[in-house]
């Protein structure tokens, strides 16, 4: 990637002012996965320390926003990110001071002080002991909310579907960026590495807002997309990284780039086509010798016989005796692409990515691995952590230690992309 494009004149000044005031507002209320895949707009967060109005107006979707360097308009940075908090639940515990709820039209429908339990009754929501309200509802508290014990932002949308509840946090973009960076990287990382990650997180979020997972939310709060665990304990280093890159995104061909990333590549990143079957010219394998300090540069996992049988069954293999598990094929970077499981004389090849998912991401940390029989189980040894596509975060930190800037880091891991939305 070359240097980020810089614009001049009144247009860039207007962008700078808009980004500045948008950011100032979000600071007052104070923050990746594989390729994803009509949108229902959500209400804005309520500034902390201020009671919401008696009738909270529904969120009005803003038109796409033209950023310098982007030919295709991006979602407005004034539109909050909608983050699904976990999956379907029967009950949700909401805690906060002076909790208030509104329906989709902005009419107050319920209130509580301290704590309330929500339950799904068909397509309706039971508020507390018995009050029934139509789905969805927007819930806020001037001091912030806790959802099932997790501290979040000032506003959450809860929907009921077929007897199950779904909670979606409504988070201002830049706060979301800082919050995700705080969970995706340690505070010991250098500023330039955290800044590179902030750009990737922001780009991924905006692309998800452009192409949401569902009409109710843009992305989920876990490893399927980006880790979001609320607004507590966000160190100043993460806030500074988000602020230093405010409004900056990665573009390719004038559109938002799919800025995926992972913990540790183990020496070489993976091609997107090999990992997910879809080619992106800026997500090609690159050699990385900067992640040597990662604590998961090398790892091993001992899979017991019972665990191996469980994994085999979960992958659709009928286990009749102790199965044989081996790597059947590899990608061009040496990562496992297919796993062969043999049991009762029957052989079946399965996706290595599915094998890793079923075994557990924290156990089989990457597909850059070897599998060997060990006693009545298996010893799996490997290098790196994550899918291996895009930016290697520990590699980014190694580059920062060598004096490289966040622009140089992004250029290495996303070759051919450019910085867009640069207003400074």
> Which string of DSSP letters, residue by residue, matches 60-128?
PPPPPB--TT-SSPBPPTTSPEEEE-SS-BSEEEEEEEEEEEEETTS-EEEEEEEEEEEEEETTEEEET
Say which residue, 123 or 31, is predicted with more confidence.
123
Omega of the bond leading into 136 within 30 degrees of 0 (cis): yes
- In three state form, how does the secondary structure of 327-393 look? EEEECCCCCEEEEEEEECCEEEEEEHHHHHHHHCCCCCCCCCEEEEEECCEEEEEEECECCCECEEH
Host H or E run for residue 195: helix 191-210
Query: d(Cα 84, Cα 220) in Å, to the nearest integer?
Result: 5
Q: What is the sign, positive or negative, of the torsion defined by CA atoms of 203, 205, 209, 213? A: positive
- Cβ contacts of residue 5 below 8 Å, gap of 6+? 68, 69, 418, 419, 420, 422
Over pLDDT 90: what percentage of the chain?
A: 67
Among 15-19, 205-209, 254-258, 390-394, which range has the highest average pLDDT? 390-394
- Measure CA of the first residue to CA of the last residue in the chain; give whole Å: 19
Joined tokens for residue 61: 């979707």
Q: What is the pLDDT of residue 164?
A: 93
Q: Report the run of H or E that residue 276 belongs to, with start and end.
A: helix 272-276
pLDDT at 72: 61
pLDDT of residue 208: 93
More confident residue, 202 or 45: 202
Top-ranked range on mean pLDDT: pick from 65-74, 148-157, 207-216, 296-305: 296-305
4 pLDDT higher than 60: no
Burial annotation 257-276 (CB, 10 A radius, 16+ → b, else e): bbbbbbbbbbbbbbbbbbbb
Reduced to 3 states (helix: H, G, I; strand: E, B; else coil), residue 140 is strand
> Average pLDDT in the 187-202 region?
98
Q: Is 262 helix (H, G, I), strand (E, B) or coil?
A: strand
User: 105 or 41: which carries more pLDDT confidence?
Assistant: 105
Q: Which of 27-31, 231-235, 316-320 has the lowest mean pLDDT?
A: 27-31
Residue 357 pLDDT more than 80? yes
Mean pLDDT calculated for residue range 215-241: 90
Q: Phi and psi for 355 in degrees, rounded to 5?
A: -60, -45
Per-residue pLDDT of 325-347, as tens digits, reads 999 999 999 999 999 999 988 89
360: CB partners within 8 A, 6+ apart: none
Q: Tens digit of pLDDT for each residue in 47-81? A: 222 222 233 333 334 444 456 666 665 666 578 99
């Amino acid at each position: 990637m070359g240097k980020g494009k810089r614009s001049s004149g009144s247009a860039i000044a207007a962008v700078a002012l808009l980004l500045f005031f948008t950011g100032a507002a979000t600071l007052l209320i104070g923050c990746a996965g594989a390729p994803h895949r009509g949108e229902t707009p959500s209400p804005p967060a309520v500034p902390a320390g201020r009671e919401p109005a008696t009738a909270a107006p529904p969120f009005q979707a803003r038109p796409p926003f033209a950023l310098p360097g982007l030919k295709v308009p991006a979602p407005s940075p004034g539109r909050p990110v909608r983050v699904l908090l976990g999956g379907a639940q029967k009950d949700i515990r909401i805690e906060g001071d002076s909790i208030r709820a509104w329906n989709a039209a902005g009419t107050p429908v319920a209130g509580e002080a301290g704590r309330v339990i929500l339950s799904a009754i068909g397509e309706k929501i039971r508020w507390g002991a018995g009050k029934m309200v139509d789905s969805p509802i927007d819930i806020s508290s001037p001091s912030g909310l806790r959802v099932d014990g997790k501290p979040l932002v000032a506003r959450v949308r809860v929907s009921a579907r077929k007897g199950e509840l779904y909670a979606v946090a409504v988070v201002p973009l830049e706060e979301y960026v800082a919050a995700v960076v705080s969970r995706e990287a340690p505070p010991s990382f250098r500023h330039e590495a955290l800044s590179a990650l902030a750009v990737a997180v922001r780009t991924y979020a905006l692309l998800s807002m452009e192409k949401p997972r569902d009409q109710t939310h843009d992305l989920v709060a876990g490893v399927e997309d980006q880790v979001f665990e609320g607004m507590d304990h966000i160190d100043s280093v993460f806030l500074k990284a988000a602020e230093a890159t405010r409004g900056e995104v990665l573009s390719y061909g004038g559109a938002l780039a799919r800025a995926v990333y992972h913990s540790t590549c183990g020496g070489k990143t993976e091609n997107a086509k090999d990992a997910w079957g879809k080619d992106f010219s800026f997500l090609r394998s690159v050699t990385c010798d900067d992640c040597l300090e990662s604590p998961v540069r090398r790892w091993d996992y001992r899979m017991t016989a019972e665990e191996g049988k469980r994994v085999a069954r979960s992958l659709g293999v009928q286990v009749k005796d102790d199965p044989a598990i081996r790597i059947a094929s590899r990608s061009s970077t040496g990562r496992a692409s297919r796993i062969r499981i043999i049991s009762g004389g029957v052989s079946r090849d399965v996706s290595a990515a599915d094998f890793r998912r079923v075994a557990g991401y924290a156990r089989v940390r990457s597909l850059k691995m070897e599998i060997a029989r060990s006693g009545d189980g298996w010893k799996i040894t490997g290098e790196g952590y994550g899918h291996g596509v895009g930016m290697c975060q520990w590699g980014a930190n190694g580059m920062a230690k060598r004096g490289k800037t966040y622009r140089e880091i992004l250029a290495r891991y996303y070759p051919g992309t450019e910085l867009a939305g640069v207003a400074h």
